[in-house]
Structure formats: structure tokens, C-alpha cells
A and B are shown apart, each in its own frame.
Chain A
Amino acid sequence: AQKITQTQPGMFVQEKEAVTLDCTYDTSDPSYGLFWYKQPSSGEMIFLIYQGSYDQQNATEGRYSLNFQKARKSANLVISASQLGDSAMYFCAMRQFTGNQFYFGTGTSLTVIP
């Protein structure tokens, strides 16, 4: 069964606008972490943001915020004030603390339009 689902293969956003990338997850483990990574065309995987399953507040890192809805098992990434350099693949991931397994979604390709 898919542990991480990203339903948007590709997204477009106008420069300076905000964009939401969707991610849902599946786990019965009470302790887990949710991550977002960015992969630009150069290929490296860049860690963006983390949300722990027990965190009460939504995580924020600069222009990135994670909209965590635990009951719905969703962990959407919000990028505010998009920049051309935000064009990349974005991967949602989950780490289950039992077993230490790390699951990645299939990714969303974001294109920022000038």
C-alpha cells in the first residue's frame, strides 16, 4: 500500500504567488515525522521542512510552511511568494519511528512562471 501519496504530478504558479503542494500519508504508527525535499534540475535532494506527529503547531521555515492536518493525514507544503528558483521536483516523505523506515512520494514538478 502507498504510504505517501502526491496526487499532483505537475503544478504551475505565477511568480510571487503562493502555491500548495498536496501530500497525504498512511500510517498506524503514533510516532512519525513528515518531511519535504526539493530536487532541482541539478539532481541534489535538499531538505526543506519537518513536522513531527506530536507537534501542535504547523512547521514554518522561511517561505515554506507545512499545513499539517493529522486527522486527515495530510501534510501539504505551502510556498509563499514563489520565485523562479523554486522550479523543481518536490517530494513528500514520512519517517515511521517504529522500524525507522523512510517513505517517499512520487513527487510534484513545480514550474514557476515569470
Chain B
Amino acid sequence: DARVTQTPRDKVTEMGQEVTMRCQPILGHNTVFWYRQTMMQGLELLAYFRNRAPLDDSGMPKDRFSAEMPDATLATLKIQPSEPRDSAVYFCASGHGPEKDTGELFFGEGSRLTVL
């Protein structure tokens, strides 16, 4: 049963520390999205990639966040330095481009980040 895999599932860190979240998209999917979910803001799009190329990262605070896809099986989201306001659940989702099937996104289980 193919699924999107995210690590870590839970991370507690102190303000100022670097945090790296990893995502393994479903094999064959060519689009990857990173979302952040908080009670106040709901689901916010941080970045998305198509065929490993970043297409939109306008939702990401550029001074501290970075997202990359070093290869087709790995997407990373890095926060450096982390701040308490970064505390949230970070979701990775993958899918095909909209030209194939329904184009729905398949979500990972999320990485819960707590910055103290």
C-alpha cells in the first residue's frame, strides 16, 4: 500500500535550533507539496515542487525556511533558526500532475513540531 512517509513524526526542540523534516513521496508522483497546519491559520501552503523543480515557495518565510528535493524520493523542509511561532504540524503531500487521474494529493501523517 503506497503512502507518503514523513519523518520525524514528533519533534521538540529549543528556539534557535535547526530542524529538518523529511518526506518520501509515493513512487511515481511528480508533484510534492509542503503544508503547515495550525489552529489559527489552518492549512497554509509553504512550497510545492513539480518534477523536483520548485514552482512556488511564496508562502514560506525565506529568511529561515528552505525546501529542496535532492532527488525524486526525498523532499526536505528545513527551518534555521527555529522559533516558537513555527510550532505546528507540517504535512507533506504528493500526487500526479493534474493531467493524470483526478490529481488528488496523498498526505503523509505529518510532523508535529514544538519549538520551546
- Which of A's residues lie within 8 Å of B, judged by CB? 31, 33, 35, 37, 43-45, 47, 50, 52, 91, 93, 95, 97, 99-107
Contact assessment for A101 and B56 in the assembled complex, using a CB-CB cutoff below 8 Å:
yes
| Chain B interface mostly | strand
Across the interface, do A43 and B102 meet the contact criterion of CB distance under 8 Å? no
Q: Give chain A nearest CB distance to B7 CB in angstroms.
A: 15
Contacting residues of chain B (27-56) with chain A, CB-CB under 8 angstroms = 31, 33, 35, 42-43, 45, 48, 50, 55-56
CB of B89 within 8 A of CB of A102, answer no
A43-B110, A44-B110 given. 11 additional CB < 8 A pairs? A35-B105, A37-B107, A45-B91, A50-B103, A50-B104, A95-B103, A97-B103, A100-B48, A100-B55, A101-B56, A106-B42
Asked if B83 CB lies within 8 Å of chain A CBs, one says no
- CB contact between B98 and one of A95, A105, A106 (< 8 Å): that residue: A95
Is B65 an interface position by the 8 A CB rule? Answer: no
Is B104 in contact with A47, judged by CB distance below 8 angstroms?
Answer: yes
Quick one: which of A37, A44, A104 contacts B42, CB cutoff 8 A?
Answer: A104
Docked Cα-Cα span, A36 to B31, in Å, equals 19
By the criterion CB–CB under 8 Å, are A91 and B43 in contact?
A: yes
A104 to B99, CA, bound (A): 20
Interface size class of B (residues with CB under 8 A): 20 to 34
Known contacts A43-B109, A43-B110; A100/B98 CB under 8 A: yes
Contacts A/B (CB < 8 Å), 11 sampled? A31-B98, A35-B105, A44-B109, A45-B93, A50-B104, A91-B43, A95-B103, A101-B48, A104-B35, A106-B42, A107-B43
In the bound assembly, the distance between CA atoms of A106 and B89 in angstroms comes to 15
**Most chain B CB neighbours (cut-off 10 Å) among A95, A100, A103:** A100
In the complex the two chains form, is A102's CB within 8 Å of B105's CB? yes
- What are the residues of chain A within 8 A of B106 when measuring CB–CB? 47
Using A43-B110, A45-B91, A107-B42 as known contacts, say yes or no to A50 and B102 having CB atoms under 8 A apart: yes
